[in-house]
């Protein structure tokens, strides 16, 4: 059984060995694969493993030996699952591995907006405290979360875990459904809005000018879900015009982020490089779950299939 990993670097940059997956057969792992190299590297593979490297219908038509595709992710838009199903190729994802890590990171983003801890630490090291006249100083507003309202859009595993942590901080949690009037009311009342919904054709760019116009000028927006949920120019405009107080995002519409992304020029916007999922604990769970997906396929009983 020939197994080829097209983009293994992020799952195992050196601290998360592939041994469990490699034990199933001939094993080849590539750190990254460009679109131009997919066919060459995938030739002869019976099992393909990918995270963000795209596998198209055209690729599948030229890869007759492929019998199974394993995604090292929850999202599966990197694979043409319809074409795979037509070929009789099951595609399995890992539906749950990073709940605690992503929820923890989401709250970390929120706390950074509230306190700008790194900014103040940098100021201390730059001498601002040493030369200051007072026993303390702060360069940004400091706010506490107790009593504030958190609207959670997407109330799955991660959204519910964020809710648990937020409640422990004294926040009022409001899960938000898909009904527009419910959303508008939630936006009006929320001090913080956090996104935890999957990306679909229907909700692409739904955090737009209209959406942001219903938020409080003092409110924060968090996004550790999918970058394309947000119309980035509209968010940048809202931040620069003071329509909302701040945003903290771990994802953007095109990754790596482009130099002309408008959020790079936006006020009060914290951007991290899609790292909410990368704790060693989460990546070890992801590696083990990927091995279990391969094991189940080889046993003739595939699990976590997204194209049944």
- CA distance readout (Å), 305 to 69, 76, 150, 164, 285: 10, 10, 33, 29, 18
Exactly one of 59, 116, 196, 274 is catalytic; name it: 274
196 is catalytic: no
Exactly one of 59, 116, 196, 226 is catalytic; name it: 226
Residue 88: alpha-carbon gap to chain centroid? 29
Exactly one of 144, 210, 241, 255 is catalytic; name it: 255
Distance in angstroms (rounded) separating the CA atoms of residues 217 and 208: 15
Distance in angstroms (rounded) separating the CA atoms of residues 201 and 181: 20
Task: Give me the sign of the Cα torsion angle 216, 221, 227, 233.
Answer: positive
CB 63 within 8 A of CB 84: no
Kindly state the tokens that stand for 69. Answer: 């595709």
CB 189 within 8 A of CB 219: no
CB 94 within 8 A of CB 296: no
274 is catalytic: yes
Distance in angstroms (rounded) separating the CA atoms of residues 245 and 223: 15
Angle at the Cα of 102 from the Cα atoms of 169 and 206, rounded to 5 degrees: 95
Distance in angstroms (rounded) separating the CA atoms of residues 50 and 9: 11
User: The sheet that has 47-50: what strands, in order across it?
Assistant: 26-29, 2-5, 47-50, 68-71, 91-92
Helices (H) and strands (E) in the chain, counts: 11, 11
Q: Which residues are part of the catalytic machinery?
A: 226, 255, 274
């Amino acid at each position: 059984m020939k197994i080829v990993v097209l983009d293994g670097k992020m799952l195992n940059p050196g601290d998360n060995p592939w041994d469990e997956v490699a034990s199933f057969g001939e094993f080849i792992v590539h750190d990254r694969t460009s679109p131009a190299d997919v066919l060459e590297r995938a030739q002869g593979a019976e099992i393909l493993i990918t995270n963000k490297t795209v596998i198209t219908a055209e690729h599948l038509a030229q890869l007759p030996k492929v019998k199974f595709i394993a995604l090292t992710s929850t999202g599966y838009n990197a694979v043409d699952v319809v074409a795979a199903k037509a070929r009789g190729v099951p595609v399995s994802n890992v539906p749950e591995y990073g709940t605690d890590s992503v929820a923890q990171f989401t709250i970390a983003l929120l706390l950074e907006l509230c306190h700008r801890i790194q900014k103040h630490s940098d100021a201390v090291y730059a001498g601002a405290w040493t030369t200051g006249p007072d026993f303390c100083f702060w360069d940004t507003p400091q706010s506490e979360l107790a009593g504030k309202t958190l609207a959670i859009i997407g109330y799955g595993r991660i959204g519910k875990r964020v809710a648990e942590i937020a409640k422990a901080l004294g926040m009022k949690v409001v899960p938000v459904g898909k009904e527009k009037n419910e959303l508008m009311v939630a936006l009006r009342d929320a001090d913080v809005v956090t996104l935890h919904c999957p990306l679909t054709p229907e909700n692409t760019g739904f955090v737009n000018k209209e959406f942001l116009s219903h938020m409080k000028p003092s409110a924060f927006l968090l996004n550790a879900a999918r970058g394309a949920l947000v119309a980035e120019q509209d968010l940048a405009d809202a931040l620069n015009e003071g329509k909302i107080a701040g945003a903290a995002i771990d994802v953007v519409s095109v990754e790596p982020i482009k130099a002309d992304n408008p959020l790079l020029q936006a006020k009060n916007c914290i951007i991290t490089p899609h790292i909410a999922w990368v704790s060693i604990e989460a990546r070890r769970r992801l590696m083990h779950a990927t091995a279990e997906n391969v094991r189940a396929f080889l046993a003739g009983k595939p699990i976590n299939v997204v194209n049944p």
